[in-house]
Amino acid sequence: MGAPALSSVGVAPARAGVTPMAYWPLVWRRLRRDRAAVAGLALVAILALLALAAPWLAPYDPAEQFRDGLTPAGQPLPSTLPEGSLRFLLGTDAVGRDLFSRLLHGARVSLTVGVLANLLTVAIGTLLGATAGYWGGWVETLLMRVTDMMMAFPTLLLAMALVAILKPSMGIIIAVIGLVYWTWIARVIYGQVLILREREFVTAARALGTPRRRILLAHILPHLLPTVIVWGTLGIATNVMLEASLSYLGIGVQPPVPSWGGMIQQGQAYYRTAPWLVVAPGVAIMLTVLAFNLLGDGLRDALDPIQRGRD
């Protein structure tokens, strides 16, 4: 068992020793070679562009409720009107608004909430989980008990209390998601660190007298990267959905601002009569998740400190 231990020790310092100039171009080169990752990157870029350009691309004001936007019986209009015109590209929603315009504008809210809230959860979760797992002792006890408490606390009550105290806004939504869901990542990371800290390359580094903080940052964190990326990419979809369930409680973005989750929320009862109300934002969410996943996988491979030896 001596050889693997040596090689492990060999990898980590080597990674730390590589100058940023040499490391990041390498990552970029490997990312570019990965066709799936490039597709993911392109898709992310397109989505971001669509969101940014929404005011210019959208044919209508996303909040405008058209008099002729509903059937006389009050049902949403499908995309193909009887006259065959394409007045509403994707049809209208339950209030008679243009679904396509709302989809474009919704991208702004949903992408922002999805990405930012996720950054927040991942950052808090990784930091606390890794610290607790590696530091041990009373730090571990304290941090993990706080995590337990946060995890055991009912989100619904917390969200209701927060919305009653604060005015709902995008910032609040991001904060609520971030504050509530970091516990998950913290636990996962904690579990991994418990194992990592007993791995040969860490014990060896410790034996060599490397400072604790340095071991955590240089040796343990890189090994957590795959997990962090998985959470970072899948979490985006979950957050978009969470925003929807928060809007159910009244803490979501306030009407008439569109969000994909909120659109699904409003549209799901129409699953038989106007299925496009859910399908359109659902596909948008799926494309977003797909994009970030492809990119995430590519990044994971490109950044992988162990893999690098194979190049």
Question: Which position among 43, 100, 293, 302 is part of the footprint of other proteins (CB under 8 A)?
Answer: 293
Fill in the amino acid letter for 247. Answer: S
Q: Which of residues 135-174 bind other proteins (CB under 8 A)?
A: 136-137, 140-141, 145, 148-149, 151-158, 160-161, 163-165, 167-168
Task: Considering the complex, state which of residue 120 and residue 253 has its C-beta at the smaller distance from other proteins.
Answer: 253
Task: Determine, following the binding rule CB under 8 A, whether residue 82 of this chain makes contact with other proteins.
Answer: no
Token code pair at residue 208: 């060599």
| One residue of 90, 289, 302, 303 binding other proteins per CB under 8 A | 289
Distance between CA atoms of residues 141 and 237, nearest Å: 32
Indicate the residue type of 145: R
Q: Report the residue from 176, 247, 259, 302 that binds other proteins according to the rule CB under 8 A.
A: 247
Candidate ranges 2-10, 13-21, 110-118, 209-217; the one touching other proteins (CB under 8 A): 2-10
Q: How many CB atoms lie within 10 A of CB 206?
A: 14
Instruction: Look up tokens 């979809």; give the residue.
Output: 237
Query: Which residues, 172 to 191, sit near other proteins by CB under 8 A?
Result: 184, 187-188, 190-191
Residue 220: partners with Cβ closer than 8 Å, 6 or more residues away: 130, 134, 193, 196, 197, 202
User: Helix or strand or coil: residue 70?
Assistant: strand
- Rounded to a whole number of angstroms, the minimum distance from the CB of residue 21 to other proteins is 25
Among residues 226, 239, 243, 259, the one that binds other proteins under rule CB under 8 A: 226
Is residue 163 classed as helix, strand or coil in its secondary structure?
helix
Are 242 and 199 contacting, i.e. CB atoms less than 8 angstroms apart? no
- Selected from 220, 244, 299, 303, the binder of other proteins by CB under 8 A is 244
